[in-house]
Amino acid sequence: ASVCLGSSLVLSSMVASSAATPSTYCTAPHTGTYAFLGSVNMNGLSRTFSSWASPYYLFVPASTTTTTVAQGSTYTLSVTSIPDATAANTIASVWFDWNRNGTFEASEWTQLWTSAASGSVQITVPANASIGQTWMRVRTRGSGNLNGSADACT
C-alpha cells in the first residue's frame, strides 16, 4: 500500500503454526538408582525443585515456566541434580520437541553430563524448529544408568 507523508497505516501480522501443542507425552518410568532434578535455568526460565515423591516425574505447566527463544539462536541451559545416598553423581539429558510432534526423538536429545551433579550446555534452536510452545524434558538418573538419546521414555 502507498502511504503519504503524515498519514497513518495500520499493519498487522500473523504467525501461522502448522501444529497444535501436543497434549500428552510418554512418561518415563522410575528405574535404576535415582537422582532428583534440582533446578533448570535457560534464557530467563528459572525453576527450582525442592521435593519429590512417587512417581518421580513432574509436568510443569507452561503458565508457570516459559521462556522465548528464536530459531537459529543459541542459549545456555544450566541444570542441577540431587543424587540419592547411593549415587555420588548423576547422568542427565534433555530433549526439546522442536518439531512439536509429541515425541522426544533421538535427534532432539542433548547429553548434559554423564557423571556430575550439575552442568551447562549450549542449546541451539534449529532454524526449522516449529513455532509455538515447545516441550522440554530433563531427565536425571544415578550415574551408570542409561540416559541416552532414545531413553526419554524408557
pLDDT in tens, 124-148: 999 999 998 888 888 888 777 778 8
Cross-strand bridge partners of residue 45 = 42
The overall pTM is greater than 0.85: no
Q: Quick check: 69 pLDDT over 70? A: yes
Rounded Cα–Cα distance for residues 29 and 7 (Å): 62
Contact residues for 32 (Cβ-Cβ < 8 A; gap 6+): 141, 142, 144, 145, 146
Given this model, what pLDDT does residue 55 score? 56
